[in-house]
Amino acid sequence: MKYDLHTHTMYSRCSNLKPEVLLKLAKKFNLNGIAITDHYTIKGALAVSKLNKDKDFEVIVGSEIDTPQGSILAYYINKEIKSRNILEILDEIRTQGGLAAIAHPFRLSLHKRHFFSYPLKKNKK
């Protein structure tokens, strides 16, 4: 099974991919599914999910949320993640029955404070 678990559509500032184009590309590359993880929104994921008529191709509704500790990917969610606090984000994902992952744990270049350290601590926001 081949999945891309970190994709963005035009609902993210970093992408201009229309939902239908992302879906077409994923199928062209013979993926079995994709997770759409737009920044701070599930709108792109819902749009791709609605467009997908292939029951053998999975579209995972997700979102990517930045925190001072790093970016969190949420999978299998059905509502927008409202918090920007890392522990509360994880709670929201869990409450929705979703899964959480770290988006790019080794990226140190974005921001001096943009790294994960354990145990996770609540940020001040």
Site residues, Zn ion (CB under 5 A): 64
37 or 121: CB nearest Zn ion = 37
40 or 76: CB nearest Zn ion = 40
Query: CA angle 54-60-63, nearest 5°?
Result: 145
Q: What is the nearest approach in angstroms of Zn ion to the Cβ of residue 123?
A: 19
64 or 92: CB nearest Zn ion = 64
Q: What is the nearest approach in angstroms of Zn ion to the Cβ of residue 55?
A: 27
Which residues are within 8 A (CB) of 38 and not within 5 positions of it... i.e. 6 or more apart?
A: 8, 9, 11, 12, 15, 44, 45, 63, 64
Cα–Cα distance, 88 to 94 (Å, whole number)? 10
56 or 106: CB nearest Zn ion = 106
Cα–Cα distance, 111 to 3 (Å, whole number)? 29
Given phi > 0 = left and psi -120 to 50 = alpha, else beta, which region is 76? left
Q: What is the nearest approach in angstroms of Zn ion to the Cβ of residue 44?
A: 11
Q: What is the nearest approach in angstroms of Zn ion to the Cβ of residue 111?
A: 15
